[in-house]
Structure 1
Amino acid sequence: MEPINQFLKNSKKIKDNNDKLYDSLIQHPRIIELIENSDFEITRSMIRNDLLQLKRYTEQSLACEKCSSLGECINHPQGYVPSIDVRGGRIHIIYSPCPTKIKDDAFREKEKMIESYHVPKDVKDATFETVFLDPDSNRQEIIKRAIGTSKKIIEGIDTKGLYIHGSFGIGKSYLLGCIANELKDQSVSSIIVYVPEIIRDLKAGFKDGTTDKKFNTIKNAQVLMLDDLGAEDVTPWVRDEIITGILHHRMVEGLPTFVSSNYSIEELEYRYSRTKENGIEETKARRMTERLRALCEEVQLEGSNYRNN
């Protein structure tokens, strides 16, 4: 058992510390402002009863003034600012998201508006402001159409997407990224899919049972962008079950769809009508391209091969 004289000494030390803390708190600008502006009466006894709560309140940042970024937030929990609430004659701290966290959360939420499968970062980050306007290209004309189409989607107006075709390396994929970011800025989500790789993913999914989930995610995207359609190995399963399946669902549901390809739709139909397994199947290929035409306006992008420059 603690000796009585030691107990008295410790009690006096605690009281002295509390008195010092009380004196410093009632002179602290933040506590003075709190007392003057609070909707509740804050008495001296209330301050004495909740010294540690008020000390914590004075030590934290209220409007990110002590923090340079969310990662360097001094508060605990990080990203939240304290405010004082009085209930039952006691002082309580409540926490709300700080201005920096609110901005960061909004940014992260916007970032989730674009989901991508095997798409390069420069495509995912592309914007119309960063597009190179080659005078020898019709890129400016295509951009105007892309912006107009994006605007209709943002406003909820039924519209066809674009089927952008042209030779290698002229920026077809980049334009899809521009459209996706234009939509993202207005909180419209999209999925960009690099077709050859997602076909491999769907095949691999048969082993772990993920094929249906991936397929349904893609076909039900708010806005879908199929990048490099026609570059994949053409098989009856790819044509009839995957590509036609996606296009048919989106046509029936009226979901905006964009496509990039090295082939015109007519050339694509010829390519998809021939498979090693079944030979020539023009009707099945036409079934696919009819859905493409129902979903997209075909435009040809012209210009130089920028990958080789």
Structure 2
Amino acid sequence: MEPINQFLKNSKKIKENNDKLYEELIRHPRIIELIENSDVEITRTMIRNDMLQLKRYTEQSLACEKCGSLANCINHPEGYVPSIDVRGGRIHIIYSVCPNKKKEDAFRERERMIESYHVPKDVKDATFDTVFLDPDSNRQEVIRKAISSSQAISAGADAKGLYIHGSFGIGKSYLLGCIANELKEKSISSMIVYVPEIIRDLKAGFKDGTTDEKFNTIKNAQVLMLDDLGAEDVTPWVRDEVMTGILHYRMVEGLPTFISSNYSMDDLEYRYSRTKENGVEETKAMRMLERIRSLCEEVQLHGKNYRN
């Protein structure tokens, strides 16, 4: 058992510390401001009862003024700012997201706006500001159309996507990345899919049962970008089940779709009308292309091969 003298000494020390803390608190500018602006009267008794809460309140940053950035946050929990709630005669601290965390969360959310499958990083990171405006190409004209389409989608208007076709290496995929990042800045998510590889993924999904999940993810994308359509092996399943299935769903639902290809629409229709398995099936190819024409405006991109 603690000796009575030691107990009295400790009690006196605690009282002295509490009195000192109380005096510090009632003189603290933040507490003075709190008392003056509170809709509920804050009494001396209330301050004494909840001194630890108020001390924590005075030590933390209220508007990132002590931190500067989320990386230097001094608050606990990190990224949240305290405010005082007075109820039931007690003083409580409540927390809300700080300005820096809001910015950080918004940035991370924008970064998640672009989902990609088998697309190079330079395409995913492309922006209209980084496009080389080759005077020997019609890039500027295509960019104007792309920006116009992006703005219409951002405004919630019914807008067609673009079917950008042209020869190898002239920057068709890069423009899809530019459109995706333009939409990202407006908090509109998009998915860029490299068609030949995603077809292989869908086939592989038959083994582990993931084909339907992948297919539904692609067809339901807020904005879908099909990169290098026509470069995949054409089979009846690819044409009728995969591509026509995705395009039909997006046409019915009015979901914006962009496509890049080495083939014009007419050439793509011819390519998809012929398979090794079934020979010539022009009607089925025509059905697929009707959906592309409904979803996209055809634009031919001219220029030199920048890969060489």
> Does TM, normalized by the shorter one, top 0.5?
yes
Displacement of 1:73: 1.3
Q: Which residue of 1 aligns with 2:27?
A: 27
Q: Are 1:292 and 2:292 matched, yes or no?
A: yes
Deviations 1:206-246 (A, max 9, x none): 22222112211211222211011112222221111101111
What code does the residue aligned with 1:268 have?
L
Displacement of 1:280: 3.2
Cα distance in 2 between the residues matched to 1:67 and 1:168 = 50
Q: Are 1:18 and 2:15 matched, yes or no?
A: no
Deviations 1:94-126 (A, max 9, x none): 111111112222223333332222222222222
Q: Are 1:68 and 2:68 matched, yes or no?
A: yes
Q: Which residue of 1 aligns with 2:181?
A: 181
Displacement of 1:2: 2.5
Displacement of 1:132: 1.4
Q: Which residue of 2 aligns with 1:100?
A: 100
Cα distance in 2 between the residues matched to 1:169 and 1:13 = 79
Deviations 1:131-169 (A, max 9, x none): 111111100000111112222222333232111011122
> Identity of paired residues, percent?
84
Cα distance in 2 between the residues matched to 1:114 and 1:92 = 41
Q: What's the TM-score, normalizing by structure 1?
A: 0.93
Q: Which residue of 1 aligns with 2:147?
A: 147
Q: Which residue of 2 aligns with 1:41?
A: 41
Deviations 1:239-282 (A, max 9, x none): 11101111111222222211001111222223223333333333
Cα distance in 1 between the residues matched to 2:91 and 2:152 = 53
Q: Which residue of 1 aligns with 2:304?
A: 304
Q: Which residue of 1 aligns with 2:270?
A: 270
Cα distance in 2 between the residues matched to 1:300 and 1:272 = 19
Q: Which residue of 2 aligns with 1:121?
A: 121
5+ residue gaps, structure 2: none
Instruction: Please show how residues 202-213 of structure 1 align to structure 2 within 5 Å.
Output: 202-213=202-213
2:307 aligns to what SS in structure 1?
helix
Displacement of 1:192: 1.4
1:162 aligns to what SS in structure 2?
strand
Deviations 1:60-85 (A, max 9, x none): 11111121322331111111100111
1:170 aligns to what SS in structure 2?
coil
Q: Are 1:243 and 2:251 matched, yes or no?
A: no
What code does the residue aligned with 2:62 have?
L
Displacement of 1:172: 0.7
Q: Which residue of 2 aligns with 1:164?
A: 164
5+ residue gaps, structure 1: none
Give the stretch that moved more between structures: 46-55 or 4-13.
4-13
Q: What's the TM-score, normalizing by structure 2?
A: 0.93
What code does the residue aligned with 1:257 have?
T
Cα distance in 2 between the residues matched to 1:233 and 1:71 = 49
Displacement of 1:92: 0.8
What code does the residue aligned with 1:65 have?
E
Give the stretch that moved more between structures: 85-94 or 133-142.
85-94
Displacement of 1:196: 1.5
What code does the residue aligned with 1:72 have?
N
Give the stretch that moved more between structures: 268-277 or 169-178.
268-277
Give the stretch that moved more between structures: 122-131 or 132-141.
122-131
Cα distance in 2 between the residues matched to 1:201 and 1:13 = 71
1:157 aligns to what SS in structure 2?
coil
Cα distance in 1 between the residues matched to 2:6 and 2:191 = 70
Instruction: Please show how residues 53-64 of structure 1 align to structure 2 within 5 Å.
Output: 53-64=53-64
Cα distance in 1 between the residues matched to 2:155 and 2:86 = 46
Deviations 1:11-35 (A, max 9, x none): 1221122122222222222222222
**Root-mean-square deviation over aligned CA pairs:** 1.7
Displacement of 1:288: 1.7
What code does the residue aligned with 1:189 have?
S
